Amino acid sequence: MSITAPLFQHHKHCDEIFADAEEACGKGDWTAGAAAFECLRGQLETHFASEEDLLFPAFEAATGMTSGPTEVMRGEHRQMRDLLAQMQGAVESRDSDAFGGAAETLLILMQQHNMKEENILYPMCDNALNSSDVGAALAERLK
């Protein structure tokens, strides 16, 4: 198994929770929607933190690239956190339209972010961190 395989799988897991949250909030089922959204926000935060605390520093130390792809990914994490905050506000005010708009934006941002990670950054990390124990630490955090 590659070092980044747990992150790859966790993307799919987050997609599933996203679909549940979007469907429930879109229908106005705020009890189920709030629970699914809380789960989504928690899982995404765990994912971002795993990358920012473990993977990115290890990659930067191994390659010396501190202002390249990892910096762009950190910036997109900030954008996604902001959108999650907007969605939180919409859940609290029970505003389906506001939730749907922020959710749609988050989905596209998240998917193109994942695409760049899965196609480009993760393979680079797998190459650079071949013999490190980062993979085990990531698997532990994301289980």
Partner 1 sequence: MHPNLSFDQAPPISVPYRFFLVAPWFGVMAGILLGWSGPDAFASRWTPEVLALTHLIALGFMLQAMSGALFQFIPVAVGGNVWHSRLVANAVQPMLVLATLLLVAGFLFSRPGLLSAAVPLFLLAVGGFVIAVALALWRTPATGMTLWAMRMAIGGLAVTVLLGALLAESLARGLTVSIVELTNIHLAWGLGGWALMLLAGVSYHVVPMFQLTRPYPLWFARGFGPLLLFLLLAWSGQYFLDEPRWPMAAGLPLLAIFFAYGGMTLWLQYTRRRKIHDATSLYFRVAMLSLLAFAISGAAFFLIPAIGADPRSVVWLGVLAFAGVFVSAITGMMYKITPFLNWLHLQRLGAPMSAVPNMKKMLAAEMMTGQLRLHVLALLLLLAAVWLPGLARLAGMAFAASSAWLGWNLISAVRRYQTFRDQIRAVALHC
List residues near partner 1 by CB under 8 A.
Answer: 15-16, 18-19, 22-23, 26, 65, 68-69, 72, 79, 82-83, 85-86, 97-98, 100-102, 104-105, 107-109, 111-112, 115-116, 119-120, 123-124
Task: Record the tokens describing residue 7, joined without a space.
Answer: 């992150």
Least distance (Å) from partner 1 to the CB of residue 88?
Answer: 12
CB 30 within 8 A of CB 91: yes
User: In whole angstroms, what is the distance from residue 134 CA to residue 89 CA?
Assistant: 35
User: In whole angstroms, what is the distance from residue 50 CA to residue 8 CA?
Assistant: 12
Least distance (Å) from partner 1 to the CB of residue 61?
Answer: 15
Least distance (Å) from partner 1 to the CB of residue 96?
Answer: 11
Strands (E), the chain: none
